[in-house]
Amino acid sequence: MKQFSKVAQAVGLGILVGTTGFAYADDVIKVDAQELEKIEVLGKHYRNIGATGLPLAIGDTPQSISLIDAEYIALYDLNSVGEALEHSAAIHTDPSPSGRDRFTYARGFAMNRYLVDGMVSAGRSFQSSLLDASMFETVEVIRGSTGMLQEVGQPSGTVNLIQKRAQESFSGYVNAELGSWGKRRVEGDVTGALSNDGSVKARAVAVYETADSFQDRVNSARKVIYGTISAELTDDLSASLFWSQQEDELDEFSSGLPFSYSDGSAFNGDASHNDTPSWVYEDVNQDNVMVELQYTLNDDWSIQGRYHRSDVESDGIFFSGDSLPDVESGLYRSFINHSDRENESERAELNLTGNFTLLDREHHVTFSAADASFTEIEKRAFPQSAPTINANDPSSSASIPMPVFSEPSITNSEQESKNYRIAANLSLAEPLNVLLGANYKDIDSRAGAGDIFSDWVNNSDTSLYIGATYDVTEAISVYSSYTDIFELQMVFDKNGDLLDPAVGKNKEIGARYSSLDGNLNIDVALFQINQENFAINDTSAAAARIYRAVDGVESKGYEIEISGYINDQWRASIAYSNLSLADNNEGRISKIVPDKVAKFNTDYEFDGSLAGLTVGGFINWTGERHGFILVPRKGFAYPELESYTVVGLVASYDVTDNLSIKANINNAFDKEYESKVAWFSRRASTPRNYSAQINYRF
């Protein structure tokens, strides 16, 4: 019989603020006379700690939560957070212009907020999607407005990355991988006690990876170092330190193929097409440090203090088309800029969590106070004369000399915020829990060019959270919730003014079934999101990155997840989401996100003569959607993009108790589809590719 993982529960309880995490585990499996707990993951969401910062079971949390566990990440060779999110229920991702990072969408809207253990991370969302998955125990998604967790309550949801923590028992692994297009990856993870009594323990992770690409001349490199140390200073006081550094280099990357010729006729280039000059590159360095103190006041109350700092530096020369190629000559104008960007964020918070008794029933409450700041400085330079590119002869572009760039312009933005939160879980009756919460935030923002800044703009708001769960039977529960939306957008209109925050309401009702033996879980959620003052691109403006606000943006739909064990060796999970998104304006918001997404995965562990062999696979289906192409003097056109299905296969074999080998096939049927169509280009799908790994655990 399967039951809840004590390891996953301990991780979630230790974080306490805005985190979830769950995995299934065998009770205890004896290996070499040692008792080890083996976490077996279905790759979807299960039940442990809720999204409110209270120590709630997910079954008691009136909001949709999904997760991808480290075991699932390893099984399907998902090396980055963005790759893991491709497998998360009700999530759609598409690549950034470089093809390396991911834009992520839930319930029709972009997910642009990433947290590390509940703390805000610096950088743009697709840079956070680049973070290596080896550093994290769980990649979790809390869908719907998350104003209870942070200063803002964006409607799509929040990605929360749960860092690996030090363990007392000495253990670890070394993993070596070879893959298609010259991929070479080595990954190591070791943890153990540093003191005889186990009160001080540490963990370290290191990764080195190099790879080419299915696109000509593209190559990349990655270096990752992650470390954490924790200490039980007294019986009541513990401290932990987390630090990570990741460096990513990408050379000669291509934004894809021209969408068509200028006369509308098809451009039939190969997926390997790359007409990028040789001096195009992008480097991203991401550093994170977090300090955590936990003090137990008594059996019911504890206090936690945390500090987090995140620094992201990106530098690159970016290239894309600025027109469609001429049908006869193949020539088109290029758009080039040299961007050097620095993002920094700091956050300090204090949390008091405890239990109290009222009317002979026990209730939970948490009080939080936080102070945070964020700064961004970007230097952008443009060539004095951008080169003309020949799409019909892509090899000729490699030798184009680098142009002379003008003096860079400097733009700045700053944000300082304070927020105070209270959340209570009230057990009104044996089957009924009610959640009440309020999150007050006071945010000051300003932006500028060079040394000249705009005046500080203040936005303050109190987001309310009201929810309830009711246990119909021991196995079935229903829930409903209401959450305010308050999203500071940090974009400008054509007059140079910051747009006011987007505001709205998020409503959700749902039902959950969990069999008493834990072998079957069914979740159904219905949602409706209404927003005002939502930012969209202003196509009437002469400059890029200019926005205007629209009202009447509505998203509604439903999500279904079914997961469980068919028998002791065979498990499966399926998720389906269907949404309707309308903005009552140009329609671009609703066009670029698919209405329907479905995901399925399964694996089977053999016994008997085939003991040690596990085979599995996944099927990810994305429904119809649209790209967007800029048509000169006409605005945007929205070409239809067909639905597509991507299949992955895996086989793993335990050679010994410590040594295993594994093989993965991605896009097993070599499905060709348009992974992204934007501006003047289209990015082809990644062809079938393979990887083989050898893993030694100790």
Supply the CATH number for residue 686's domain. Answer: 2.40.170.20
- From the list 577, 557, 649, the residue with the least C-alpha distance to 88 is 577
274 belongs to a structural domain: yes
Structural domain count of the chain: 1
- From the list 119, 535, 190, 629, the residue with the least C-alpha distance to 346 is 119
User: What is the predicted pLDDT for the residue at 454?
Assistant: 80
User: What is the predicted pLDDT for the residue at 588?
Assistant: 63
- Give the structural domain span for 67: 58-697
Q: Where are the alpha helices (DSSP H) in 16-119?
A: 70-75, 81-85
- From the list 242, 353, 347, 349, the residue with the least C-alpha distance to 295 is 353
476 belongs to a structural domain: yes
165 belongs to a structural domain: yes
Q: Where are the alpha helices (DSSP H) in 95-191?
A: 125-128
For residue 6, what is the enclosing H or E element?
helix 6-15
Cβ neighbours of 339 (radius 10 Å): 15
Tokens of 288: 């994170």
- Partners of 362 in the beta sheet? 357
- Partners of 323 in the beta sheet? none
Cβ neighbours of 595 (radius 10 Å): 16
User: What is the predicted pLDDT for the residue at 589?
Assistant: 67
Residue 26 in 3-state DSSP?
coil
Dist CA 695 CA 655 (whole Å): 10
Tokens of 672: 């060709």
pLDDT beneath 70, residues of the chain: 1-55, 147-153, 539-545, 584-590
- 267-304 per-position pLDDT tens digit: 988 899 999 999 999 999 999 999 999 999 999 999 99
414 belongs to a structural domain: yes
- From the list 41, 64, 53, the residue with the least C-alpha distance to 14 is 53
Residue 673 in 3-state DSSP?
coil
Residue 591 in 3-state DSSP?
helix
CB crowding 23-46: b at 16 or more within 10 Å, else e: bbbeeeeeeeeeeeeebbbbbbbb
For residue 588, what is the enclosing H or E element?
helix 588-591
Q: What is the pTM of this model?
A: 0.89
| CB contact at 8 A, 42 and 24 | yes
CA distances from 325 to 215, 257, 456, 471, 593 (A): 20, 10, 45, 62, 27
71 belongs to a structural domain: yes
User: What is the predicted pLDDT for the residue at 207?
Assistant: 98
23 belongs to a structural domain: no
R_g of the chain computed on alpha carbons = 25
438 belongs to a structural domain: yes
Residue 395 in 3-state DSSP?
helix
Length of the chain: 698
122 belongs to a structural domain: yes
Tokens of 10: 């301990």
| String of DSSP letters for 403-453 | PPBPPPEEEEEEEEEEEEEEEEEEEEETTEEEEEEEEEEEEEEEEEETTEE
